[in-house]
Amino acid sequence: MSERTIDLEVLRYDPEQDDAPHFQTYRVPYREDWVVLDAINYVKDELDRTLSYRWSCHMAVCGSCGMLINGEPALSCHTFLRDYPDKIRIEPLQNFPIERDLVVVMDDFIDKLGSVKPYVVPKEEKDIDDGEYLQTPAELARFKQYTACINCLLCYSACPQYALNDRFVGPAALALAHRYNLDSRDVGRSARDDVVASNPGIWECSFVGACSEVCPKEVDPAAAIQQMKIASTADYFMRFLMPWKRK
Amino acid sequence: MNQSNKPIVWGLFAAGGTVSAFLVPVLILITCFAVPLGLLPADTLSYERLSAQLQNPLSKLITFAVLFLIIWHAAHRMRITAHDLGVRNDTVVMLICYGTAAAGTLLTLLALLRI
Amino acid sequence: MSRRPYVRDLSKTGWWLNQPRYVRYMAREISALFVGIYVLILMAGLLGLSQGEVAYEDFLETAEGPVGLIFAIIAMTFAVYHTYTWFQVTPKAMPLMIGSKRVPGPFIVAAHWFGFVVVSVALWLLAGSQT
């Protein structure tokens, strides 16, 4: 009796030798408890040492192993072989330049993440000796889900607006801005507006919602962006109607 | 200041989307199906009855507001869809979409004032 | 070692055909086109009404013809789809918190449908009333 095998069709790209990416198929054993990452590790260990890819925690918290699995952005450590047929297509995340094999260039994302001022901007600088900030469970509940982002880039991969215009700040960065805007300790909302409320900010989003569908941590960046659109629209008309009011 | 002016059109888009979500299905039912199917009296949309109902300034105002919001919602959405379908020239798209909405708005205003 | 990142092609026009979720998105957006055309037709009707009985009768004749009926069926389908998708996303855009608990999305959606029925019935009664 022959054991079941899985054919992994992996998109390879060697910048030193290839003009364009091409598929290469590897046959790996099927194991009931394996995830796609295990299969890829098997390839690297046993079949082809040249295969390059990112991974780390193997438990869906580090955000390193994002890739397209049968065309869908997913974490390879979170995707079980048993849910797939005998042939699985594996490609690097969509909408990012390919560095090598399954490794993408994420510099654009890193820049955008930094641009939204992802830190608490307090009302006044507090000394350590002044003690902690106090926050009620209700205040925490307002922003908690938006803290769950692991920067895995699946949302950027799924977002057609990012595909059509890579100046779009993007789901994860905007969700992170929202996380701080909703934090009761923070007063930085207007400071973030230069990036968030700009045309390539929240206004590039057309609420496709694919980002939230693929997010492995249920951050729901689509919801974050729509909420910021409403807040920003209210701000805009307030400024128009009451220009003397300082934010 | 880098901030966008999109809130203007987006505000109209959001209001119009809500209005159309609540009103358009029943409006289509009343205007297109109710009379032919005998669900409402045959004179429901007649010239006399409709003109009479729209004499009231409040009726005119509400009618205008509803049509205004819905047409601007549709116009903005079509602008976005054009972009989604790869049309690069946003200025031309804006002229066509918002221009149509503006023309419709103006004609509605004139019509309601005349009725 | 040299870096030579590769940028993959993407169809700017047909990208949405690649996945069911994008097709559903396009259908959702196109629903607004039919709502828009319907409203333009309503505006044309108002224009006819303002121009007198003859003009209005002409409008009614065109609008109630076979093409009008087919359009009405298509418009109704897309109008209901618009309502359905709009209500579906409302809880995301306007989350309701009671204390530290979030009001479940389906509850907000159901409340909207209830409001929809109330408004529709009210408008229907208004249309049919003999005032």
The predicted-structure confidence for A104-160, as pLDDT tens digits, reads as follows: 999 999 999 999 999 999 998 889 899 889 999 999 999 999 999 999 999 999 999
User: What are A186's two structure tokens?
Assistant: 């923070």
CA pair distance B66, A137, nearest whole angstrom:
41
Query: Do A119 and A110 meet the contact criterion of CB atoms below 8 Å apart?
Result: no
> Which of B31, B112, B27 is closest to C51 using CA atoms?
B112
Domain boundaries, chain C: 15-125
User: How confident is the model at residue C97, as a pLDDT?
Assistant: 85
| H or E element, residue A99 | strand A98-100
What type of residue is A47? L
CB atoms C100 and A140 under 8 Å: yes
Of C40, B79, C14, the closest CA to residue A164 belongs to C14
CA B25, CA C115: separation in Å to the nearest integer? 13
Domain boundaries, chain A: 5-104, 107-241
Number of domains, chain B: 1
Buried b / exposed e over C17-37, threshold 16 CB at 10 Å, is eeeebbeebbebbbbbebbbe
A247 pLDDT above the threshold of 60: no
CA-based radius of gyration for chain C: 22
Indicate the residue of B40, B50, B74 with minimum beta-carbon distance to C39: B74
Q: Is C50 in contact with B111 (Cβ distance < 8 A)?
A: yes
Taking Cα atoms as reference points, which of A155, A151, A135 lies closest to residue A220? A155
Show the tokens assigned to A14.
Answer: 């060697």
How sure is the predictor about A246, in pLDDT bands with cuts at 50, 70 and 90? Answer: low
Chain B: closest CA distance from residue C99 (Å) = 27
- Note the CATH architecture for domain A5-104: Roll (3.10)
Closest CA to A172 of A221, A119, A245, A229: A221
Q: Quick one: pLDDT at residue B36? A: 86
Q: Is A117 left (phi over 0), alpha (psi -120 to 50) or beta?
A: left
Q: Say how many CB pairs under 8 Å bridge A and C.
A: 75
Ramachandran class of B38: left when φ > 0, alpha when ψ lies in -120 to 50, beta otherwise: left
Residues of chain C with C-beta less than 8 angstroms from the C-beta of A101: none
Contact B3 A237 (CB under 8 A): no
Instruction: Annotate A222-236 with b (16+ C-beta within 10 A) or e (fewer).
Output: bbbbbbbbbbbbebb
Which residue from B22, B71, B84 is facing C39, i.e. has the nearest CB?
B71
CB C17 within 8 A of CB B86: no
Contact map slice: C 44-103 vs B, CB within 8 A: 45-47, 49-51, 53, 56-57, 60, 63-64, 68-69, 72, 75-76, 79-80, 82-83, 86-87
Identity of the amino acid at C55: A
- Is the predicted pLDDT of residue C131 greater than 80, yes or no? no
Mean pLDDT of all residues belonging to chain C:
93
Nearest to A12 by CA among A55, A44, A59: A44
Q: Does residue A1 have a pLDDT over 80? A: no
Q: Does B7 touch chain A (CB under 8 A)?
A: yes
Nearest residue of C to residue A107, measured between CA atoms: C5
- DSSP letter (8 states) at residue C131: -
The CATH number of the domain holding residue B97 is 1.20.1300.10
User: Are A40 and A66 in contact, with CB atoms under 8 Å apart?
Assistant: no
**For the residues of B74-111, what is the DSSP string, one character each?**
HHHHHHHHHHHTT---HHHHHHHHHHHHHHHHHHHHHH
**How many helices (H) and strands (E) in chain C?**
4, 2
A195 in B contact zone (CB under 8 Å): yes
Q: Quick one: which of B55, B50, B52 has its CA closest to C59?
A: B50
- Which pLDDT value is given to residue A60? 96
From the list A193, A206, A230, which residue is nearest B80 (CB)? A206
Q: At which residue do the structure tokens 């092609």 appear?
A: C9
Of B47, B86, B110, the CB nearest to C53: B47
In angstroms, the CA A43 to CA A51 distance is 8
- Which residues of chain B from 67 to 106 reach within 8 Å of chain C, CB to CB? 67, 70-71, 73-75, 77-78, 80-81, 84-86, 100, 104
The CATH architecture one would assign to domain C15-125 is: Up-down Bundle (1.20)
B16 is in which domain, residue-wise?
6-114
pLDDT score, position C130: 60
Contact A97 C2 (CB under 8 A): no
Fold designation for A107-241: Fumarate Reductase Iron-sulfur Protein; Chain B, domain 2 (1.10.1060)
State the alpha helices, DSSP H only, in chain A. Answer: 36-42, 107-115, 137-143, 154-158, 160-164, 171-181, 189-196, 210-214, 221-241
The chains found to touch B (3+ Cβ pairs under 8 angstroms) are A, C
Q: Which residues of A touch B6 (CB under 8 A)?
A: 199, 203
Supply the pTM of this predicted model: 0.93
What pLDDT band is residue C1 in, cutting at 50, 70 and 90?
Answer: low
Which of A141, A206, A220 comes nearest C92 by C-beta? A220
* Residue A7, amino acid: D
pLDDT value, residue A245: 63
A202, A204, A233, A239: best mutation site toward chain B, by most B Cβ within 10 Å?
Answer: A233
